[in-house]
Amino acid sequence: MISRTSAEPEAVDTTSTSSVTEVVVPIPQTMTSLVSQVKGLRDRVQATNQDVAELHRRVNAHDLERRTHFKVREDTRQLLDRLAIHYGMSWNQIAQLVGVSPQAVRKWRKGEVATGENRLGVARVAALLDILSDLRIANPAQWLEVPLVPGYTVTSLDIVAARKVDLLLEWADLRIETPERLLDLFDRNWREKYESKYETFVAGDGNLSLRRR
């Protein structure tokens, strides 16, 4: 019989022990880390939105020029007739957008030849009105003359005359949220420059009237 010494380790029966699966619990993200990631994502989205908005403006400008160069092939008198009859534009409106006097427009209407630059200007006005019509703006000629903000004289016509057609097209396409935002982009000092000297009020007979502020 063999005796076991106290120095020898006792044998362990491994057949009776059950296997244990190690479970690793992930450490949750800290709030600071999460905020940083969301901030980075928002910055990337904002940059992408800005890039897309700029691309949209360039496409609008290209569309306007493309339509203009098709329109310029037409006779100037025919374009003027279309603007006056189909869209109801006045000679004053056309003159303001082209950058000439109403008398010049009347001369073209009677057959006087317009310069190449002015012929292109008339074609551009016709192209713009077509685009506004495609954007489902009823009576675009009248729409151009509606004051953008009550109490101020600035209109969409002023924006086009200032060669800010890109802003007008974004406004017409509902890409700019409010008329105040549109005017901020157009002219930071619009409140001082375009404040009306008159205001409407209900007179004693119940009718609307004008008076100086």
- The least confident of 7-11, 24-28, 170-174, 187-191 is 7-11
For the segment 110-126, the average pLDDT, to the nearest whole number, is: 96
Decide if 128 contacts 122 (C-beta within 8 A).
no
Band (46; pLDDT cuts 50, 70, 90):
confident
Decide if 97 contacts 160 (C-beta within 8 A).
yes
> To which residue do tokens 């009347």 refer?
106
Residue 182 lies in a domain: yes
One-letter amino acid at 77 equals: R
Residue 6 lies in a domain: no
Mean pLDDT of the chain: 86
pLDDT of residue 34: 78
Is the pLDDT at 86 greater than 60, yes or no? yes
Residue 21 lies in a domain: no
Band (16; pLDDT cuts 50, 70, 90):
low
| Angle value at C-alpha 150, between 173 and 211, nearest 5 degrees | 155
135/41: higher pLDDT: 135
Residue 207 lies in a domain: yes
Number of domains comprising the chain: 1
pLDDT of residue 22: 75
Residue 11 lies in a domain: no
206/210: higher pLDDT: 206
Is the pLDDT at 5 greater than 60, yes or no? no
* pTM score of the predicted model: 0.72
Domain hosting 204: range is 49-212
Phi, psi of 152 (to 5 degrees): -130, 145
For the segment 118-134, the average pLDDT, to the nearest whole number, is: 97
d(CA 75, CA 126): 12
Band (204; pLDDT cuts 50, 70, 90):
confident
Residue 43 lies in a domain: no
Residue 25 lies in a domain: no
Band (168; pLDDT cuts 50, 70, 90):
very high
Residue 117 lies in a domain: yes
